[in-house]
């Protein structure tokens, strides 16, 4: 099928008439669809549509805006299976996970809809008599949303649902690896009754669509999820123009396993954290830090389970690990495996492309484990974004936390221990936006803030109540009903 952009409530092709293919990474012979290769002219049209729609949308009462988002959640719930299957076809992860991805969008819709009746401001006593003081949230304007391919439903909903509830309009640029899920999402919003122009969808590349969207003077906010390198470029431009920007970037997450941990549980967590979504998560477990007393036993148990993981098409319910999203991603993963071997790490599982049976036509890679990894090796420091995990050794809790913190990233973290004192010390001392105790590094819930420290972002958070600070401006309001001029600080004199 051929798909189009969505601008001012209509499905339209790119001005250039050019198209690009979306293919199934589990079977590269299968073309999922054709999509418009848009450019700056299409972005200009979408922004103009969003700017015009914002003037009316911002005046719709927030509870009424929220009702549309709630309806979108209901439609997502009704179409969950269809959306999940299409998502697996276009980006590869197993059906269980794409169902979860869609469920996260449903959960976000219900949560964001609730904010339509909250979105609380503050009232405070004024320092002068017969004067009232309060603060309120107001929408910002046209928001440019740039989302990645690994969570093509969940992450756009994290951004777009709260943006809309807050009264903003949106121009949405999805990843070119997952355009079909973006179409399905926008179809849901249109069916839910969102007015024309409030949501606009423009397909294309980062240079063709992303850059013009970031640089457009009428776009007041950019929300981006992707690599730290690209995030720095976006932040640099937005800094020059004082445009608001929210960045959710990379991770090099670690799971600590202490000597008092439940090892069976810790192995389950490490498997899910390292190889869920084929390791293509910003929260993936890329490092496992093992207490020296249990290292050999844990590693033996872990490798036995890794060896049993089944690779294949994610639509097959018996499959554990799907393909990487494209050829370039697989080549990138393999280059890091070669770097790890060259630097002296010990390859104990995987380490090569998997091309057996039905996997010959896809971009599969064996789940890969390195032992004897030193903290400063590149595979222990750089985000790999694939099914590769490094094992490090620690002698005690403080050393384990020091190893975990020895990273330029700080997104997610995990510790397995049955010692409450160790758990709370880790919660206090780990440098990360998320810490799990006796759980893997993946699995965030939509009502808590999501994001990280250091190179993982620029201080903003998605999900939970914190996301409102991204998509609203604070306005302080003073009402003086004294009937005379009162000068703050000057007339505020001590009472005798």
Q: What is the pLDDT of residues 395-407, one digit of tens each?
A: 999 999 999 999 9
Q: How far is CA 316 from the centre of its chain?
A: 26
Span 98-147, pLDDT tens digits: 999 999 999 999 999 999 999 999 999 999 999 999 999 999 999 999 99
Residue listed under structure tokens 């844990």: 298
- Residue 46 pLDDT > 70, yes or no? yes
In this prediction, residue 184 carries a pLDDT of 98
Distance between CA atoms of residues 216 and 414, nearest Å: 40
In this prediction, residue 156 carries a pLDDT of 98
User: Mean pLDDT over residues 173-198, rounded?
Assistant: 98
Strand-pairing partners, residue 311, are 321
User: Mean pLDDT over residues 166-182, rounded?
Assistant: 98
Nearest to 415 by CA among 444, 393, 439, 379: 439
Known catalytic residue: 166? no
In this prediction, residue 495 carries a pLDDT of 67
At 25, is the pLDDT very low, low, confident or very high (cuts 50, 70, 90)? very high
Distance between CA atoms of residues 419 and 101, nearest Å: 33
In this prediction, residue 73 carries a pLDDT of 98
Span 284-301, pLDDT tens digits: 999 999 999 999 999 999
Instruction: Give phi and psi for 192, each to the nearest 5.
Output: -70, -15
Asked if residue 439 lies in contact with residue 414, where contact means CB atoms within 8 angstroms, the answer is yes
Provide CB contacts within 8 A for 462, sequence distance 6+.
155, 158, 159, 246, 248, 449, 450, 451, 470
- Reported residue count of the chain is 496
Asked if residue 384 lies in contact with residue 279, where contact means CB atoms within 8 angstroms, the answer is yes
Known catalytic residue: 248? yes
- Residue 496 pLDDT > 80, yes or no? no
At 492, is the pLDDT very low, low, confident or very high (cuts 50, 70, 90)? confident
Ordered domains of the chain (ranges, CATH): 5-249+457-477 (3.40.605.10), 253-437 (3.40.309.10)
**Residue 61: Cβ-neighbour burial (10 angstroms; 0-12, 13-18, 19+):** exposed
List the Cα angle 102/47/455 in 5-degree steps: 60
Among 115, 282, 366, 462, the one annotated catalytic: 282
Q: For the chain, what is the mean pLDDT?
A: 97
Among 248, 366, 383, 462, the one annotated catalytic: 248
In this prediction, residue 177 carries a pLDDT of 98
In this prediction, residue 493 carries a pLDDT of 76
In this prediction, residue 253 carries a pLDDT of 98
Half-sphere CA count of 393, side-chain side, radius 13 A:
14
| Model pTM score | 0.97
């Amino acid at each position: 099928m051929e798909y189009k952009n969505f601008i001012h409530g209509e499905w339209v092709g790119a001005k250039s008439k050019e198209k690009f293919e979306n293919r199934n990474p589990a079977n590269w012979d299968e073309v999922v669809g054709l999509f418009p290769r848009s450019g700056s002219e299409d972005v200009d049209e979408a922004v103009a549509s969003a700017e015009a729609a914002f003037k009316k949308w911002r005046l719709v009462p927030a509870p009424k805006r929220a009702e549309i988002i709630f309806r979108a959640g209901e439609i997502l719930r009704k179409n969950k299976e269809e959306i999940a299957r299409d998502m697996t076809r276009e980006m590869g992860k197993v059906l269980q996970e794409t169902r979860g991805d869609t469920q996260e969008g449903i959960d976000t819709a219900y949560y964001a809809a609730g904010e339509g009746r909250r979105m609380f401001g503050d009232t405070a006593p004024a320092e002068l008599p017969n004067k009232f003081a309060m603060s309120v949230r107001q929408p910002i304007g046209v928001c440019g949303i740039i989302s990645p391919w690994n969570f093509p439903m969940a992450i756009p909903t994290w951004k777009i649902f709260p943006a809309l509830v807050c009264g903003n309009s949106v121009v949405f640029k999805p990843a070119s690896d997952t355009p079909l899920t973006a179409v399905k999402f926008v179809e849901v919003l249109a069916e839910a009754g969102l007015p024309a122009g409030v949501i606009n969808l423009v397909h294309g590349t980062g240079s063709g669509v992303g850059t013009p969207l970031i640089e457009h003077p009428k776009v007041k906010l950019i929300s981006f999820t992707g690599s730290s390198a690209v995030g720095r470029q976006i932040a640099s431009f937005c800094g020059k123009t004082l445009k608001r920007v929210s960045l959710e970037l990379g991770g090099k997450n670690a799971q600590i396993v202490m000597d008092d941990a439940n090892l069976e549980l810790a192995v389950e967590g490490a498997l899910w954290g390292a190889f869920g979504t084929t390791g293509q998560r910003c929260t993936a477990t890329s490092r496992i830090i093992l207490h020296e007393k249990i290292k050999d036993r844990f590693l033996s148990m872990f490798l036995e389970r890794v060896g049993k993981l089944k690779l294949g098409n994610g639509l097959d319910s018996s499959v554990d690990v799907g393909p990487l999203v494209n050829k370039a991603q697989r080549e990138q993963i393999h280059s890091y495996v070669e770097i790890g071997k060259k630097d002296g790490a010990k390859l104990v599982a995987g380490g090569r492309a998997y091309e057996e049976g039905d996997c010959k036509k896809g971009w599969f890679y064996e789940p890969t484990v390195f032992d004897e990894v030193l903290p400063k090796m590149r595979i222990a420091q750089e985000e790999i974004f694939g099914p590769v995990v490094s094992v490090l050794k620690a002698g005690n809790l403080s050393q384990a936390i020091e190893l975990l913190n020895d990273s330029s990233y700080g997104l997610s973290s995990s510790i397995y221990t049955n010692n409450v004192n160790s758990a709370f010390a880790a919660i206090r001392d780990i440098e990360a936006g998320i810490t799990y105790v006796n759980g893997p590094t993946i699995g965030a819930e939509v009502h808590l803030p999501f994001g990280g420290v250091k190179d993982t972002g620029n201080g903003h958070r998605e999900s939970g109540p914190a996301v409102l600070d991204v998509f609203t401006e604070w306005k302080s309001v003073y009402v003086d009903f004294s009937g005379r001029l009162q000068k703050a600080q000057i007339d505020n004199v001590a009472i005798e």
